[in-house]
Amino acid sequence: MSTETPVSVQILRESEIDERLDARLRSFLISIFPNWESIFRKRRAWHDAPPVFTVLATEPSGKIVGHVAVVERTISTEWNARFAIASFQGVSVIPERRGSGLSTRLLDVALEESKRVGYPFAALFCREPLVRFYQRNGWKLPYDSMIMWRDRELPIHMQSDYPMYRELGSTPFPEGAIDVHNPF
């Protein structure tokens, strides 16, 4: 189908994703992120946390052309404030649809829904070449380190090591080092 074909964007809860769609989504993610096949062969999100919701772009035929999953994480600050946050994963658009603003549309829907759910912040981890792309979309680099931990002693090795965040309400993103926990 040509890129003229309209794309619809919908928000899906886990209860709306049956086994068949789950398998199609995992195949889609493997096609976009072949290096992460070992994860996506089993599940759609990192570190065993199922998405709170998934934003999906499809053509009328049902073909999946874009995806963002939002999982819940907890962040804690140097002064022990804790926040449940929306963590964005698997941001992806098929190559034929790139450069048309579809990822911005998906991200906007995911940000709006995260805000509606009540999360004060959204965060994601990306690779260095995408930092500018996210910055153009309003995402910011934290003031200090933002490290994901399995427990207090063991930082999780991230394949995408640039954390970025968005403020979703009036709470300013905390300054200082941030620990990210999965999920609490």
Per CB under 6 A, 91 contacts ligand COA: yes
Q: Which position among 7, 55, 102, 180 is part of the footprint of ligand COA (CB under 6 A)?
A: 102
Of the pair 53, 134, the CB lying nearest ligand COA is at: 134
Q: What is the DSSP string of 69-127?
A: EEEEEEEE-TT--EEEEEEEEEEEE-GGGTTSSHHHHHHHHHHHHHHHHT-SEEEEEE-
Residue 77 identity (one-letter amino acid): T
CB of 137 to ligand COA, least distance (A): 9
69-74: long-range contacts, CB 8 A cutoff, minimum separation 24: 69/44, 69/45, 70/110, 70/113, 70/114, 70/122, 71/45, 71/46, 71/183, 72/119, 72/183, 73/49, 73/123, 73/148, 73/180, 73/181, 73/182, 73/183, 74/180, 74/181, 74/182, 74/183, 74/184
Of the pair 76, 113, the CB lying nearest ligand COA is at: 113
Of the pair 45, 124, the CB lying nearest ligand COA is at: 124
Contact 74, 183 (CB under 8 A): yes
Binding part of the chain for ligand COA, among 5-13, 16-24, 50-58, 93-101 by CB under 6 A, reads: 93-101
Per CB under 6 A, 75 contacts ligand COA: no
Site string for ligand COA, 120-159 (x = CB under 6 A): ----x-x--xx--x--------------------------
Size of residue set near ligand COA by CB under 6 A = 15
Q: Which position among 13, 41, 98, 116 is part of the footprint of ligand COA (CB under 6 A)?
A: 98
Q: List interacting residues with ligand COA (CB under 6 A).
A: 32, 91-93, 98-99, 102-104, 124, 126, 129-130, 133, 160
